[in-house]
A and B are shown apart, each in its own frame.
Chain A
C-alpha cells in the first residue's frame, strides 16, 4: 500500500512538472515572442475567446502578477479548461482532441502490442537456440533497423507499396468517400489505411523488444532453476517458456506498460508522413498553425497517458511481485 501511495505521489509530481513546463516555456523564450505573436494574431483571430486563450498562455494583458497567473493557469488545467482552439475555432480544445485519440489508439496501440508480442517471441527463440540461425541473423539485423528513422521507413513504404505497386492506400485514416459506420466495407477500408503505417512502426520498434528479451533470457538460462528443470527431464519447450521466459519477461513488462503510455504521443512522425488523423498529426498541425492552446493540451494529454500507464504498471507489479511490497 505504501508503495502504491509513493508511486501516486510520483504521478502527481510529474504531472505538476508537465503543467509547469507548459506554463513557463512560452514565458521563458528570449526576445519576448509574446508581443510579436499577439500582434500577428490580432489580424487573424477575431473572437475574444481565442484572443483570451492566447493571452493566458503568453501572460500578456492579464494585469496579474506571475504567481497569480500561475495559480490561475493551474486552476484552469485541473478543471479541464484548455481554452479555445485557434484553428478549429470555435470548438473547445478538449472536443477537438477526443476525435484524434480514437485514431491513434487504434493504429499505434495495436501495433505496440503486436511489436511486443512478436519481438519477445523472437528474443526467446534467439536466446534458446543460442548461436543458431535466428540468433545469428535477428539481433544484428534488428540493431540496424532500430537505428533507422521510422518516418523514413514510412516514406519508403509509401514509395514502394503505395506509389509504385499501388497495393495499399497511404494517406489518411479512411477513404474520403467513406462514411463512418459499422459495416464490413468501412472496417476493411480503415484496416487497409492502417496497414502501411503499422508495418513501418512494427519494423522499427520490434528490435528493442527482441534485443532486451534475448539478453534477459540469456541471463535467466544460466540460472540454477533452469538447470534443475532440465535435469528433471522436463520437455524443452516447457523449460523454455515456463521456467526461463517467464522470469526473463518480468523486467520487460514495465517497459511494455510504459510503451503503452507512449502510444498516444509515440508515432507523431508516422502519422505526419501518412496524414493519419491521430494525436501526433494534430500536434504537428497545431505547431504549424501556431495553435498554442491546442498544442499545450496535446502535450499534457500525451504526458498524462504515460503517467497513467506507469501508475497502472506499478500497481500491477505490486500485486504480482511480492518483493516490491516488502521493500522499503
Chain B
C-alpha cells in the first residue's frame, strides 16, 4: 500500500519537482556550512558589492555575504514551516475530526469555533499581535502562526471525516464500546493520512508566506538570519532604487521556490486523492495507471 502511494507520487511530474526542490532546501537547512563558506552575520566585507566569484550574490549594506545569508536563512524558514505547519495540522485534525465524529451539539460548537477563527482576517491579526509583542523571535512566530492558522484545514478535514462516519469499521468500534478519543485518534486519523499530508502542505505554505511577510515589514527579529529579514534590510537599504537588486531578488526567489515546492506537492496529493482531477492520459499509460490505482484503492 505504502509502496504504491510512493509510486503514484513518483509518476507525477508535479510531485517529483516539488519533492526534489523541498529535499534540496532540507539539505541546505541541515548542512549550510557545506555550501557557504562565510559566516552569514559577519560584517567583514565592503558594503553593497556586486556579484563576483568570491560573493556569488554580492554583499549587503552591512558588508555581509548575501549568498551565505540565503543559505543559512533556509533553516529558520523550514523550522517555522515544519513546526507551525505540523502543529496547526494536528489542531485542525483533532478539531475537524472530533466535530465530524461527535456530531450533534459538539459538532455545532466546534464548527462555530472554527468558523469564527476562519473569518477573522488572519494577516491583519498577525500584524496586530506582532506589533504588541515587538521583535518576535522564531518561537513567538511559530506559536502565533499555529494558533491562528489551523481553521481552514480543520474545515476541510471535517467534511472529509463526515464521509467516513457511516463506514463499517467505525460502527464496529462504536459497538465495541470504544471511547471517542480512541476512535478519533486510532481509527479515523490513520485512514486520512493522505489528506493530513495535503493539509500539512497547505499550512506549511501559508506559514512560510506569512512568516516571511511579517519579517519583511520589520515585525520579526531584525537580527535573525532569514529570508524575510533579508528582504526587510533590502527594503530599508532601498536596494531596488540604488541598484543593489540581488539583495531583494535572492531572498524573494528563495521564498517563491520553497512555496512552489509545497504548492506542487499539495496539488499532486489532491490529484492522487481525487481521481477525477488527474490529468487525462491516453492508451497504455491510462491502463497502467488504472491497474496501479486499483491496487491503491483510494
Contact = CB atoms under 8 A, between A and B. Distances in A.
B122 to A, nearest CB: 10
Given A130-B280, A131-B280, A269-B213, A152 B132 contact: no
Interface in A130-180: 130-131, 135-136, 139-140, 143-144, 146-149, 151-152, 155-156, 158-159, 163
A140 B121 CA distance: 28
23 contacts: A14-B120, A17-B116, A26-B132, A130-B280, A140-B267, A143-B260, A143-B264, A144-B264, A146-B263, A147-B205, A147-B209, A151-B216, A155-B248, A158-B240, A163-B241, A215-B277, A219-B276, A222-B276, A266-B121, A287-B219, A295-B131, A302-B124, A303-B119
Interface residues of B, number: 47
B216, B245, B263, B280 pick with most chain A CB within 10 angstroms: B263
Given A33-B134, A287-B131, A306 B125 contact: no
B133 A159 contact: no
A113 to B, nearest CB: 19
A244 to B, nearest CB: 13
Question: Secondary structure of the A side of the interface?
Answer: helix
Interface stretch (B48-56, B88-96, B161-169, B249-257): B249-257
Nearest to A158: B240
A152 B216 CA distance: 10
A188 B127 CA distance: 33
Nearest to A219: B276
Contacts of B259: 147-149
Given A29-B132, A155-B248, A303-B120, 20 more contacts: A10-B116, A14-B115, A21-B120, A21-B125, A25-B132, A33-B132, A140-B267, A144-B256, A144-B260, A146-B263, A147-B256, A148-B255, A149-B252, A151-B213, A152-B231, A159-B245, A163-B240, A215-B277, A287-B127, A299-B128
Contacts of A272: 217
Interface in A268-293: 268-269, 272, 283-284, 287-288, 290
Contacts of A302: 121, 124
A143 B14 CA distance: 10
A103 to B, nearest CB: 17
A45 interface: no
Contacts of B276: 218-219, 222
A149 B212 contact: yes
B283 interface: no
Contacts of A33: 132, 134
A18 interface: yes
B46 interface: no
Contacts of A215: 270, 274, 277
A262 interface: yes
Nearest to A152: B252
A324 to B, nearest CB: 15
Interface string A287-328: 110100001101100110011001000000000000000000
A265 to B, nearest CB: 5
B294 interface: no
A294 to B, nearest CB: 11
A143 B263 contact: yes
A39 interface: no
Interface in A212-255: 215, 218-219, 222
Contacts of B263: 143-144, 146-147
B128 A268 contact: no
Contacts, number: 131
A156 B252 contact: yes
A269 B219 CA distance: 13
A149 B121 contact: no
Contacts of B212: 149
Interface of A: 10, 13-14, 17-18, 21-22, 25-26, 29, 33, 130-131, 135-136, 139-140, 143-144, 146-149, 151-152, 155-156, 158-159, 163, 211, 215, 218-219, 222, 262, 265-266, 268-269, 272, 283-284, 287-288, 290, 295-296, 298-299, 302-303, 306-307, 310
Interface string B221-262: 000000000010001000011000100110010011001101
Contacts of A218: 276-277
Contacts of B14: 140, 143
Nearest to B228: A149
Given A152-B255, A215-B277, A302-B121, A13 B112 contact: yes
B129 interface: yes
Nearest to B249: A156
A268 B209 CA distance: 13
B147 to A, nearest CB: 12
Given A29-B133, A152-B231, A159-B245, A299 B264 contact: no
A17 B217 contact: no
B177 to A, nearest CB: 30
The 4 A-B residue pairs with the shortest CB-CB distance in the complex, in nearest-first order:
A147-B259, A152-B252, A131-B280, A147-B263
B121 A303 contact: yes
Contact of A262 (B121, B218, B219, B262): B121
Contacts of A148: 252, 255-256, 259-260
Contacts of B205: 147
B45 interface: no
Contacts of A310: 119
B229 to A, nearest CB: 14
Given A149-B213, A156-B249, A284 B127 contact: yes
A269 B216 contact: yes
